[in-house]
Structure 1
Amino acid sequence: MRILVLGGTAFVGRAIVEDALRVGAEVTLFGRGRTGSELFPGVERRIGDRDADDYAALREGSWDAVVDVSGYLPRHVGRAMDALGDRVGRYLFISSHAVYVRTGLGPDSDEDTPRRPVRRDTEELTEETYGPLKAACEDDVVARYGSRATIVRPGKVAGPHDVQNGLTYWVRRAARGGRVALPGRPDQPVQLVDSRDLARLVVQLLADDRPGAFHAVGPAERITMAELIHTCARAAGAEVEVVPVPADAVSPFFPLMRPESMWPTLLRSPARARAAGMTATPMAVTAADVLAWDRGRGEPPLPLGLSPEEEAKLLAGV
């Protein structure tokens, strides 16, 4: 199988490329060539810039499938499809749970959940526009490729090489042990998907030439924030005491924490993806692998979360 990956050297794309190579696929990478140049020696690379509408490197060649990891705007997707035309078999678009409405949801909402109204009037990516722009991208892929279109909607992705710091913060913090400040309720649900499970789903969908939309969510077991922190601690051989502190004492974008009104969005059904072959890595394994990766890179500063000094100040008042 010949696979073209639009963006494949950061986090999600990297995992997809690794899994595709594992099963013997012939992979071509398309991107700006600014990151991950040391990765995947021997894999063909074509250089272009989606923001600048530069797809000249894709004028020649054909592929059984394309995996679009880096399409965030309808223009990105439209110009890529114009460049590729019918020289690809299946077009698999990596979307997001942000396409869905945020209210009126119950546990185990599935891929038929109503989506938010699409947006095509802006290219500014914000909390409010990201989901509607992704929904517009989905519509354009389906309109162009029909039964040759596949949509994968990941939830929060975690794993080694994560450039964000959701799980990484909690793994690192739990490894220090002791009293851990949790800005919110310990019973908040958490729904993370291991990047390698997401990759396995993508490659399996391509191998099966399967159309439709699929949730990429996990982990293998449903857990709460308190259970997640204890799992991270066990992975590090540490012991912790989870101490709730006021949520309004920290940034509203604190790693993995969500207001209670959003908790139903953290309980989506993985049934369709699991039936299609998505694996389910236990959270203990994901946490241990993130811990090893983070320590191996020297634990650089994280953009969000509490410093030890800030945490101590919060805990002093509890």
Structure 2
Amino acid sequence: MHLLVLGGTSFVGRAIVEEALRTGAEVTLFGRGRTGADLFREGTGATGVTRLIGDRDTGDYAALRDGHWDAVVDVSGYVPRHVGQAMDAIGDRCGRYLFISSHAVYRRSGVEPGSDEDTPRRTPVRDVHSTELLDKDTYGPAKVACEDDVLARYGTRATVVRPGKVAGPHDPSDTFTYWVRRAARGGRIALPADPAQPVQIIDSRDLAGLVVRLLTDDRPGVFHAVGPAEPTTLGGLIETCARVAGTEVEIVQVPPEAGARMFPLVRPNWPTQQRSSARARAAGLPATPLEVTAADVLAWDRERGEPPIHRGYPVQEEEALLARTAEGITAG
């Protein structure tokens, strides 16, 4: 299989390229060449990788005017303009076009836990000023528009994958890494949420495995990429991270403070964000145990020197909050 990956040198794209190479595919990467410039180079153990340089922001797709690919994976399409220009440049010179979307496409209310891929989506937004200034209000609707455009252009040659929260080595978001690192410190952990809140995260390598399997099988349709295979809660996730690190933790539920930052994996409206993975599992979605994901993220984080992360509570802030919580309990 000859695969064109739009993006492919950051977190999710990197995992997809690694999985594709593992299965013997030839990979062409298209991007600006700024992220992961040393990845997949000659002498790094990767073979069969070609790099093409272009820039979606400026509309530079000249590098894609020649060539034919069995499949395209669009990892970096966030706004309709980018996706449309990529499809215009590639045209019919690909077999299948797989678009990486998001669960942000779904409506925020009236959705039952365990919803499937046919759940009603939000209204697409195409206005340039809205869709290219992505925030919580425009990100999902822009992805809806991108999905619609891909399906309209390629029809049964189109595939859409909607990942949930993705975890694994090389994750730049710190979402899962915060809990891995915090649990490894052990002790009392402040949690501004109900520990019984269900959570869904998917290992980046499982997402990559699903993508490559869908392409290998030439399978159309829309698929949720969610995990882990065994249901877990936020408290259970933290305890799993502690067990992997060999520490003991005590989870202390604290009230959310007014104006507090969006906390990693805490979702007040979690029932509407629990998705069914049945369709993707039937199509070959792998199932890495949560313990393995946590162990691999812990090892990667330590190997990179545990740089500052910008999610969750800073150490001193958490200690002060735990102290105030203890005082309140004692006074009560």
Q: Secondary structure at the match of 1:151?
A: strand
2:265 match: 256
Correspondence 1:28-107 to 2 at 5 A: 28-42=28-42, 43-107=49-113
Name the structure 1 match of 2:7.
7
The answer on whether the counterparts of 1:230 and 1:240 sit within 8 Å (CA) in structure 2 is yes
Letter in 2 for 1:248: E
Change (3 A) 1:265 1:22: farther
Alignment pair present for 1:201 and 2:189? no
Q: Which residue of 2 aligns with 1:149?
A: 158
CA deviations over 1:139-180 (Å, ceiling 9, x no partner): 000000000000000001000000001110000000000000
Deviation at 1:249, TM superposition (A): 5.3
Root mean square deviation, CA, Å:
0.9
Partner of residue 179 from structure 1, selected from 180, 188, 208: 188
Q: Is 1:282 matched with 2:262? A: no
CA deviation after TM superposition for structure 1 residue 251, in Å: 2.4
Q: In the comparison of the two structures, how many residue pairs are matched?
A: 316
Q: Find the partner of 1:111 among 105, 109, 117.
A: 117
- Please give the alpha-carbon distance, in whole angstroms, between the structure 2 residues aligned to 1:209 and 1:116: 28
Matched to 2:78, the amino acid is Y
In terms of mean alpha carbon deviation, does 5-14 or 262-271 score higher?
262-271
Aligned residue among 298, 302, 305 for 2:305? 298
User: Where does the alignment leave 5 or more consecutive residues of structure 2 unmatched?
Assistant: 43-48, 326-332
Letter in 1 for 2:193: G
Amino acid at match of 1:269: S
Task: Read off the aligned partner of 2:169 and give its amino acid letter.
Answer: P
- Name the amino acid aligned to 1:112: D
SS at 2:257's partner residue?
A: helix
Does 2:317 align with 1:317? no
1:159–1:286 Cα contact (<8 Å) kept = yes
Secondary structure, counterpart of 1:287 in structure 2: helix
Letter in 2 for 1:38: D
| 193-202 vs 40-49, which moves further | 40-49
Mapped to 1, the partners of 2:91 and 2:225 lie a distance apart of 27
In the TM superposition, what whole-angstrom CA distance separates every residue of 1:217-255 from its partner, at most 9, and x where no partner exists? 001211111101100000100000000011125724111
The answer as to whether partners of 2:106 and 2:119 remain within 8 angstroms in 1 is yes
1:189/1:266 contact within 8 Å kept: no
- Distance in 2 of aligned mates of 1:50 and 1:243: 46
Q: Offset of 1:105 from its aligned partner?
A: 1.4
- Confirm or deny that 1:232 pairs with 2:236: no
Contact 2:5 2:27 in 1 (8 A): yes
Aligned positions of 1:127-166 closer than 5 A: 127-166=136-175
| Deviant stretches of 4+, over 3 Å | none
Question: Which residue type is aligned with residue 313 of structure 2?
Answer: L
| In structure 2, distance between residues paired with 1:220 and 1:137 | 29
Q: Aligned partners of 2:258 and 2:186: how far apart in 1? A: 22
CA distance in 1, matches of 2:237, 2:95: 40
Q: Identify if the C-alpha distance between structure 1 residues 35 and 232 changes in structure 2 by more than 3 Å, giving closer, same or farther.
A: same
The code of the aligned residue for 1:59 comes to: R
| Mapped partners of 1:175, 1:303: distance in 2 | 17
| 1:282 shift after superposition | 1.1
| Cα distance in 2 between the residues matched to 1:265 and 1:66 | 31
Instruction: Tell me, in whole angstroms, the C-alpha distance in 2 between the residues paired with 1:119 and 1:250.
Output: 28
1:189-216 CA-partner distances (Å, limit 9, x unpaired): 1100100000000000000000000000
Q: Secondary structure at the match of 1:248?
A: coil
What is the aligned-residue identity percentage?
A: 72
Equivalence for 1:19: 19
Provide the secondary structure at the position in 1 that maps to 2:196.
Answer: coil
> What is the SS of the residue equivalent to 2:238?
helix
The separation in 2 between residues aligned to 1:102 and 1:309, in whole angstroms, is: 35
